Amino acid sequence: MSVEWYLVVSALVFSIGASGILVKRNPLVILLCLELMLNAGTLALVAFARAHGNQEGQIFALIVMVVAACEVAVGLGLIVAIYRRRLPIDVDELRELQG
Amino acid sequence: MSLATYGWLVLLLPLAGSLVIAFTSQVLPSRLHGWIGTGAIALSFVAAVGALFALEELGEEERQVVSVAWDYARTVGVDAQLSILLDPLSIFMCLVVSGVSALIHLYATSYMASDHGYTRFFAYLNFFVFSMLLLVLAGNFVILIVGWAFVGAASYLLISFWYRRTTATRAGIKAFVINVVGDVGLVLGTFFIFKHTNSLDLLTAFGRVEEAFPTRNDGDLVAGCLLLLVGAFAKSAQVPLHTWLPDAMEGPTPVSALIHAATMVTAGVYLVARMHPFFEQAPAAADVGAILGATTLVVAATIALVVTDLKRVIAYSTMSQIGYMIMAVCSAAYAAGLFHLMTHAFFKALLFMAAGSVIAAMAGEQNLDRMGGFRRAMPFTFACMAIGGLALSGFPLFSGFFSKDEIIAYVIAREGWFVILGVLGFAGSLLTAIYTWRMIFRAFFGEPVEQARELEGGHLHHAAEHTNPATGEVEDTDVGFPGPDHHIAEREWSMKAAMGALAVLATVGGVLQIPKVTEVLHHFLEPTFAESRYYEELEPSGGLTVVGLVLGALLAIAGIALAYRLWVTDSERSAVAGLRARLAALHAFLVHKWYFDELIDVVVVRPFAAFGRFARDVFERAIVNGLFVGGPSGAVRAGSAAVRAAQSGFLRYYAALLLLGVCALGLYFLISAS
């Protein structure tokens, strides 16, 4: 299988994630969509690594997973904190950074 | 001890006194502060006497000693040092200043006794003496300017000593502003001279006059000397910068005696005498000074004829006498001018002290119209006033007789148009005798007023309520206003001692320099004026001296006799009233002080105020506030408003922007790569 197919899948998954972030208002779903985007990136990296026949891309994929895990930990923590303060779990309502 | 040590002691003792009084004001009892102040000045006088003897031990050629404490700046072309110059002129000035100041301090310990600002008063007074001594001892233009400015500041502090009196604070501000005009003149004049001589040290600059200004009346030198004269005129209250001095009489009487009669106002005379090498090389500037001095002496004397405020009569008299001195030193009659400076310090301080005693007996009232008949109630004050008056009007054998007539004789000896100045001087001596004795006869002769009768009965008058003598406003006696009790010379030994000493000096002070007989002062001052082209050459002939002395004596006696006829013999004063009615226009002109205040108001104050208003309303608001400040701040405000609008707080909006941005970047690279 040529690398293009992997890249098409990766692009599809990335687009699904990005559109999910743009349309969804629940932070939990937004986090899930973020994971989709990250995994799309990981998939592309792995595909390139295989096409080139070396290991760098795979190492990058591992690093991206670690970063993703951290990000999820922080994001979930934020969501729990929002919930504990009885704020709405809705990113459109949480707009205190308005200038 | 060496001469330099004495010189520094003269300077530092008053400073130490001022600091000690200021820093122990909460610790020591306030009575003690008066004695600390008096003691510091008396010791300073002793040190000045020591300096005199140390100077006498030196040879004639060596009597100019410069002592440097440290350098302020010693770089290319600038030699600013803290240095004092000890020569006969500076030591003469130190003796006069510290001697008269010590007596006035002594007087003030009683006179100000009930004032609630007693400690502050002596701290200021000592600071003033320090500043004045710094001025006269300065060996360097920089120190001279510092002393000059300090003196102005001390004068401001002391004029507005009663700081809750609006008239006093206004007078203080007026004096300070006019003095600052003089300070600016002095500084600019120094620049003009420094530019060519390249030295701030006085003696070095004097030595370079010939090479720096090879031609006489060099433009820059004349400009510099005229600017120095602006400084001298502002400090010495000469026309047209004189209007502050009469108002300065709002200060306590010892201040009037010390600052506005004996010491500070003579600083201009000292300055011209000190700067004589420049003035002799720029005779045009010196001539201007001599003419203005002669003008002042007549203008002030005529105003003094009609003023009804006791202290202001003496103030105008001071202006007039300093006019004589300025005329003398600007006509190169240095010894005569400085001799008159000394005798004037004695008799004018004495007159002010006696006037203070009378004002105290009147419970603060200063108007001559309400005084009269104090002769029997206050014999000692009357005697002092009479001695001061005789010396001031140049009655034969009193000190003023010799000094004033010497000035006139020397001025006439310059020949040419200087003779006119001499004639003005004679006219001035007649006027002097009249106004002095008008004041004395009105205060001491005639029907005793209520206060005088009360005092004869052994009781010092107390006003029912304390008022400002100028406006009649009711005052209390707390700090910032005069104290509750008044003190007269008859009942206070320290006032009596100070006035007695000055009365003796005012009587016999003339023996220092009897024309053609004793010339102590002339010889003493010779080393300072060794380079002068007039000091030895200019000498009135014997005939001129005798004629001058006789004419001066006749004028003085005639003036006193005229005053006696007008204000004593003619007890109804119908002749005076008749004169006043017949010369109503002239009288109004003199009562309004030749309209100098109004003139300065129209020529200087109003244009400046109008310009200030214009600047505030147009320049400040439209240009500075609108353009310079408003322009950049408006741009920043508009820019930040635009950026702020982008910060909506919608997370998904940010995400969309980010995505679009990344897409745009990706597209850009894709397109540019292909």
Q: Is residue A95 part of a domain?
A: no
Q: How far apart are CA B285 and CA B187, in angstroms?
A: 17
In 3D space, the residue among B136, B144, B90, B109 whose CA is nearest the CA of residue B33 turns out to be B109
Q: Which residues of A touch B (CB under 8 A)?
A: 18, 21-23, 25, 30, 91-92, 94-99
Q: What are the structure tokens assigned to B289, written together?
A: 């000074």
Contact B405, B415 (CB under 8 A): no
In 3D space, the residue among B318, B349, B315 whose CA is nearest the CA of residue B104 turns out to be B349
Q: How far apart are CA A69 and CA A77, in angstroms?
A: 12
* Phi and psi angles of residue B284, each rounded to the nearest 5 degrees, phi first: -60, -45
Range A52-74 average pLDDT: 91
Q: Is residue A36 part of a domain?
A: yes
Q: What are the structure tokens assigned to B287, written together?
A: 């001539």
Q: How far apart are CA B629 and CA B332, in angstroms?
A: 57
* Phi and psi angles of residue B313, each rounded to the nearest 5 degrees, phi first: -55, -45
HSE on the CB side for B638, CA within 13 Å? 5
Instruction: Reduce the secondary structure of B128-167 to three states and give it as a string.
Output: HHHHHHHHHHECEHHHHHHHHHHHHHHHHHHHCCCCCCHH
Which residue type, as a one-letter code, is found at position B488?
I
Q: What are the structure tokens assigned to B271, written together?
A: 């300055």
Query: For residues B24-46, b (16+ Cβ closer than 10 Å) or e, as one string?
Result: eeeeeebeebbebbbebbbbbbb
Measured at the alpha carbon of residue B134, what is the angle toward residues B130 and B137, in degrees to the nearest 5? Answer: 135
Write out the residue range of the structural domain in which residue A56 sits. Answer: 3-84
Residue B619 CB neighbours (<10 A): 12
Q: For residue A49, what are the contacts with CB-CB under 8 A and spacing of at least 6? A: A55, A56, A57, A58, A60, A61
Q: Is residue A98 part of a domain?
A: no
Q: Which residues of B touch A (CB under 8 A)?
A: 643-652, 655-656, 659
Size of chain A in residues: 99
Contact B95, B48 (CB under 8 A): yes
- What CATH number does the domain containing A16 carry? 1.10.287.3510
Give residue-wise pLDDT tens across range B515-554.
777 788 888 888 888 888 888 877 888 888 888 889 989 9
Query: Smallest CA–CA separation between B660 and chain A, in Å?
Result: 11
Local confidence band at A99 (pLDDT 50, 70, 90 cut-offs):
low
Return the pLDDT at B621: 86
Cβ separation B652–A92 shorter than 8 A: yes
Q: For residue B534, what are the contacts with CB-CB under 8 A and spacing of at least 6? A: B280, B332
Contact B395, B465 (CB under 8 A): no
For chain B, the C-alpha Rg in angstroms (whole number) is 30
Instruction: Reduce the secondary structure of B254-320 to three states and give it as a string.
Output: HHHHHHHHHCHHHHHHHHHHHCHHHHHHCHHHHHHHHHHHHHHHHHHHHHHCCCCEHHHHHHHHHHH
Q: Is residue A15 part of a domain?
A: yes
For residue B417, the surrounding DSSP H or E stretch is: none
Smallest Cβ–Cβ distance between B656 and the set A22, A25, A96 belongs to A22
Cβ separation A91–B656 shorter than 8 A: no
Minimal Cα distance from A25: which residue of B?
B652
Strands (E), B38-191: 65-75, 78-86
Q: Is residue A52 part of a domain?
A: yes
Q: How far apart are CA B300 and CA B294, in angstroms?
A: 10
Give residue-wise pLDDT tens across range B174-197.
999 999 999 999 999 999 988 888
Size of chain B in residues: 674
Query: For residues A72-98, b (16+ Cβ closer than 10 Å) or e, as one string?
Result: eeebeeebeebeeeeeeeebeebeeee
Paired with B467 in beta bridges are: B474
Q: How far apart are CA A38 and CA A18, in angstroms?
A: 10
Measured at the alpha carbon of residue B238, what is the angle toward residues B237 and B239, in degrees to the nearest 5? Answer: 125
What would you measure as the largest C-alpha separation in chain B, in angstroms?
Answer: 124
Contact B6, B47 (CB under 8 A): yes
Q: Which residue has the tokens 């220092």?
A: B512
Q: By three-state DSSP, how is residue B367 classified?
A: strand
Q: How far apart are CA B600 and CA B497, in angstroms?
A: 42
Query: Smallest CA–CA separation between B19 and chain A, in Å?
Result: 60
Minimal Cα distance from A34: which residue of B?
B655
Q: How far apart are CA B119 and CA B30, in angstroms?
A: 6
Q: Is residue A8 part of a domain?
A: yes
Query: Smallest CA–CA separation between A91 and chain B, in Å?
Result: 6
Cβ separation A94–B651 shorter than 8 A: yes
Q: Is residue A97 part of a domain?
A: no
Return the pLDDT at B375: 86
Cβ separation A97–B647 shorter than 8 A: yes
Q: How far apart are CA B242 and CA B317, in angstroms?
A: 12
Q: How far apart are CA B390 and CA B510, in angstroms?
A: 13
Q: Which positions of chain B have pLDDT values less than 70?
A: none
Contact B114, B485 (CB under 8 A): yes
Measured at the alpha carbon of residue B179, what is the angle toward residues B177 and B181, in degrees to the nearest 5? Answer: 75
CA distances from B286 to B190, B204, B277, B283, B414 (A): 16, 21, 11, 5, 13
Query: Smallest CA–CA separation between B626 and chain A, in Å?
Result: 28
Q: Is residue A38 part of a domain?
A: yes
Q: For residue B218, what are the contacts with CB-CB under 8 A and spacing of at least 6? A: B281, B282
Contact B49, B95 (CB under 8 A): yes
On chain B, the residues whose CB falls within 8 A of the CB of A22 are 652, 655-656, 659
CA B485 from chain centre, in angstroms, equals 28
Total count of domains within chain A: 1
Paired with B138 in beta bridges are: B84
CA B326 from chain centre, in angstroms, equals 13
Angle between helices B379-392 and B334-361 (to 10 degrees): 150
On chain A, the residues whose CB falls within 8 A of the CB of B645 are 99
Paired with B140 in beta bridges are: B201
Q: Is the pLDDT confidence value at A17 over 90?
A: yes
Most A CBs within 10 Å: which of B640, B651, B654, B660, as the mutation test of the A interface?
Answer: B651
Residue A12 CB neighbours (<10 A): 11
**How many contacts, defined by CB atoms under 8 Å, are there between A and B?**
34
On chain B, the residues whose CB falls within 8 A of the CB of A30 are 651
Cβ separation B659–A99 shorter than 8 A: no
CA distances from B583 to B41, B369, B562, B588, B654 (A): 49, 20, 18, 9, 94
